[in-house]
Structure 1
Amino acid sequence: MGRAFEVRKQAMAKTAAAKTRVYSKYGREVYMAAKNGIDPDANLELKRIIEKAKKEQVPGDIIKRAIEKAKGGSEDNYSEVRYEGFGPGNTLFIVECLTDNVNRTISEVRNCFTKTGSKLGVSGSVVHMFNHQSVFAIKDVTEDEILEVVIENDIEVESIEADEDGVTVYGSVSDYSNIRTALLEAKKDIDFVTDEIMWVPTTEVKLAEQDDIDKFNRLTQMLDELDDVKDVYNNAIIED
Structure 2
Amino acid sequence: MGRAHEVRAASMAATAAKKTKLYSFYGKEIYQAAKTGGPDPDANLSLRAIINKAKKDQVPSHVINNAIDKVKNGAGEDYKELQFEGFGPGGSTLIVKCLTDNTNRTISQVRPAFTKAKSKLGAEGSVSYLYNVKAVVQFKGLSEEDALDALIENAVDAEDITTLEDGSVKIVGEPTDYNNIKLAIQSKLPDVDFDVDEIQTTPTETVELEGADMELFERLMNLLNDAEDVDQVYHNVANYDDGSEEE
Shorter-normalised TM range = 0.7 to 0.9
Counterpart Cα distance in 1 of 2:95 and 2:212: 21
Point out which structure has higher relative CO (alpha carbons under 8 A, 6+ apart).
1
Q: Does 1:173 align with 2:175?
A: yes
CA distance in 2, matches of 1:232, 1:239: 13
The residue correspondences of 1:163-202 to structure 2 (distance < 5 A) are: 168-183=170-185, 185-186=188-189, 192=195, 194-201=196-203
Instruction: Please tell me the root mean square deviation across aligned C-alpha atoms, in Å.
Output: 2.9
1:150 Cα deviation from its structure 2 partner: 1.6
Partners of 2:164 and 2:213 lie apart in 1 by: 30
C-alpha distance in 2 between matches for 1:196 and 1:44: 13
TM-score, normalising length: structure 2: 0.77
The 1:133–1:41 alpha-carbon spacing in structure 2 relative to 1, beyond 3 Å, is farther
Change (3 A) 1:135 1:102: same
AA of the residue aligned to 1:197:
I
One-letter code of the match for 2:144? I
Q: Which runs of 5+ in 1 are unaligned?
A: 1-12
Give runs of aligned pairs for residues 1-240 of structure 1, distance below 5 A.
15-36=15-36, 37-137=38-138, 145-154=143-152, 155-160=156-161, 168-183=170-185, 185-186=188-189, 192=195, 194-201=196-203, 203-238=204-239
Larger helix proportion of the pair = 2
Query: What secondary structure sits across from 2:42 in the alignment?
Result: coil
* Partner deviation per Cα, 1:108-159 (whole Å, 9 max, x = no partner): 1111112222111111111222233211256x89xx9435412454142112
Q: Do the aligned partners of residues 164 and 221 (structure 1) sit closer, same or farther apart at CA in structure 2, a change above 3 Å counting?
A: farther
Unaligned runs of 5+ in 2: 1-12, 242-247
Aligned-pair distance for 1:191?
6.2
Contact map agreement 1:150 1:156 (CA 8 A) in 2:
no
Q: Is the 8 A contact 2:137 2:194 kept in 1?
A: no
Query: TM-score of the superposition, structure 1-length normalised?
Result: 0.80
Percent sequence identity is 45
Bigger radius of gyration: 2
